[in-house]
Amino acid sequence: MLDKILNQNQKKHYTLEQNQALDLFVLQMHDRDCEVDIRIDLTGADASVNIFGVYFASAGQVIRNRVVVNHNAPNCTSNILYKGALLGENARTHWDGSVYIAENAFAADTYEANRNLLLSQGTSAVSVPNLEILTGDIVRAGHASATGRFDDEQLFYLMSRGIDAKTAQKLIVRGFFEEVVQNAELEDFEQEEILKQLERKIDAVR
Amino acid sequence: MQYDKLEVVDLCVSVVDNRRAYVHAEEKEILKGVNLVINRDEVHAIMGPNGSGKSTLAASIAGAPGYKITSGDILLTLDGNTQSILDLTVDARARAGIFLARQTPTAVDGITLSNFLRTAKTAIDGLAPNVCTWIKELDAAMEHLKMDKSLASRSLNVGFSGGEKKHAEILQLEILRPKFAILDETDSGLDVDALKTVCDEINRTKLDAKFGALLITHYTHILEYVEPDFVHVFADGQIVESGGSSLAKKLEISGYAEYIK
């Protein structure tokens, strides 16, 4: 099963039975505030979910994400990756990801990660990954959160080969999102469209 | 072209520790009045002990972040017109014909080496390379350098070995064909065979592009393959002695001891 939440406020709840698999893609790339709230219950054995998110907050924009995944059956897999960029005064993002692994959810395999790229001063990215494990039998359980400033050395390197600052910035930001855009089950034209929207967000500044 | 030159005039440069800039900007003077004239098609070698400021000179010419020019100038003369490059942005310097191969090239995720090269080539030439000849040109250059072709479709320098990164820098040199090339320790981390391959490629490109070169190195080995017209000894932020290629041979035997206070 494949589902996409594209540029809209949304609150969604999915229940996955035995052997069901869900690929979910969340895009928040328009210019309005946006809030997406997702809950996944893995209630059948061998159920699996991949969630990929891409967001970009411009000046004054607030983007919120909440993800809850409940492992309530054995052998379930969950894989969560959200990447976000922030550019402009008072661009704010809030990401909250929680994975709960119940006592009977043995052999669980889960990884959640949120990475943010701060492209300017005056931005704020809040990132809260939670992981609660109630079983002793785990295949893998990890979480990661990283928020970093735009890398001056990368910018210098590209510019030192003649590439102007804005084009260089776009290449680096495209590169940052490439991982998640390629991993999500998207058509080529959708990938291109997302990367175009991304460039439009960067172009909108100055 | 025969009068094209890159001139470093009484250059003083401090490094600024950005990480602590918010507390109190700490500045340390590294270059203390460097004078150097590189004419097009000449090879200048700069040798000197660690920490003497060789890489700072290279970075200052290219306009790297974190370096502050406190006095002096860097002048570029092309077709009889001389201009200071200090006011030029990094990309404008590159388009004017300055190329820096850094000691440790930066890795950039999600941009393939080939896409990066095509974008850079387009920026430098002012028009996109011919679709038909581009692939051939890139293939030939990689072949010269005995590079694994699969590197072209990998993210720029991501997971490249030290040697692969150095090869990739010289690949860029060949593709972009600058007027002045600064090669900062291109030889370090290369084994003997790789050094020869890379130097052959530098020479081949130079024959064609006729760039002026500034080779920064600790070792005389590279100078056996890329023969310098001038050798300068760098110590404590200054050029303390200049001479012909025989100076390099002298340094190989006597080291830098006599230049260090």
pLDDT for the residue numbered B27: 84
Q: Are strands B67-78 and B5-16 parallel, antiparallel or unpaired?
A: antiparallel
pLDDT for the residue numbered B38: 98
pLDDT for the residue numbered B135: 92
pLDDT for the residue numbered A149: 87
pLDDT for the residue numbered B242: 96
Query: Under an 8 A CB cutoff, do A177 and B172 touch?
Result: no
Smallest Cα distance from A104 to chain B, Å: 39
Whether the CB of B16 is below 8 Å from some CB of chain A: the reply is: no
CB contact burial A167-177 (16+ within 10 A = b; e otherwise): bbbbbbbbbbb
Whether the CB of B96 is below 8 Å from some CB of chain A: the reply is: no
Whether the CB of B109 is below 8 Å from some CB of chain A: the reply is: yes
Query: Under an 8 A CB cutoff, do A156 and B95 touch?
Result: no
Query: Under an 8 A CB cutoff, do A156 and B176 touch?
Result: no
Query: Under an 8 A CB cutoff, do B123 and A161 touch?
Result: yes
Query: Under an 8 A CB cutoff, do B109 and A156 touch?
Result: no
Query: Under an 8 A CB cutoff, do A165 and B91 touch?
Result: yes
Smallest Cα distance from A155 to chain B, Å: 9
pLDDT for the residue numbered B45: 96
Query: Under an 8 A CB cutoff, do A164 and B111 touch?
Result: no
Query: Under an 8 A CB cutoff, do A175 and B123 touch?
Result: no
Smallest Cα distance from B89 to chain A, Å: 9
- Which 3-state string (H, E, C) describes chain B? CCCCEEEEEEEEEEEECHHHCCCCCCEEEEEEEEEEEEECCCEEEEECCCCCCHHHHHHHHHCCCCEEEEEEEEEEEECCEEEECCCCCHHHHHHHCEEEECCCCCCCCCCEHHHHHHHHHHHHHCCCCCHHHHHHHHHHHHHHCCCCHHHHHCECCCCCCHHHHHHHHHHHHHHHCCCEEEEECCCCCCCHHHHHHHHHHHHHHHHHHCCEEEEEECCCHHHHHCCCCEEEEEECCEEEEEECCHHHHHHHHHCCHHHCC
- Taking contacts as CB-CB distances below 8 angstroms, the residues of chain B near A178 are 109-110
pLDDT for the residue numbered B23: 60
- Taking contacts as CB-CB distances below 8 angstroms, the residues of chain B near A160 are 62-64, 90-91, 93-94, 99-100
Residue of B nearest to A152 (CA): B65
Residue of B62, B91, B105 with shortest CB distance to A164:
B91
Domains of chain B: 5-259 (3.40.50.300)
In chain A (206 residues long), the average pLDDT of successive 10-residue segments reads 94 97 96 97 98 96 98 97 96 97 96 95 95 92 91 94 94 91 87 89 79
Residue of A154, A162, A164 with shortest CB distance to B108:
A154
Smallest Cα distance from B230 to chain A, Å: 26
Whether the CB of B90 is below 8 Å from some CB of chain A: the reply is: yes
Whether the CB of B110 is below 8 Å from some CB of chain A: the reply is: yes
- Taking contacts as CB-CB distances below 8 angstroms, the residues of chain A near B63 are 156, 160
Tens of each residue's pLDDT in chain B, 261 residues: 668 999 999 999 999 876 555 566 678 899 999 999 999 999 999 999 888 999 999 999 999 998 999 999 999 999 999 999 999 999 999 999 999 999 999 999 989 999 999 999 999 999 999 988 999 999 999 999 999 999 999 999 999 999 999 999 999 999 999 999 999 999 988 999 999 999 999 999 999 999 999 999 988 889 999 999 999 999 999 999 999 999 988 888 888 888 876
Quote ipTM for the complex: 0.94
pLDDT for the residue numbered B258: 84
Query: Under an 8 A CB cutoff, do A156 and B155 touch?
Result: no
Cα separations (Å) of A117 from A56, A82, A112, A152, B200? Answer: 9, 11, 17, 13, 41
* Domain positions in chain A: 2-150
Residue of A159, A177, A178 with shortest CB distance to B94:
A159
Residue of A nearest to B178 (CA): A161
Instruction: Give the span between the Cα atoms of A138 and A115, in whole angstroms.
Output: 24
Smallest Cα distance from B127 to chain A, Å: 12
pLDDT for the residue numbered B261: 67
Interface test with B, best of A156, A176, A198 (most B CBs within 10 A): A156
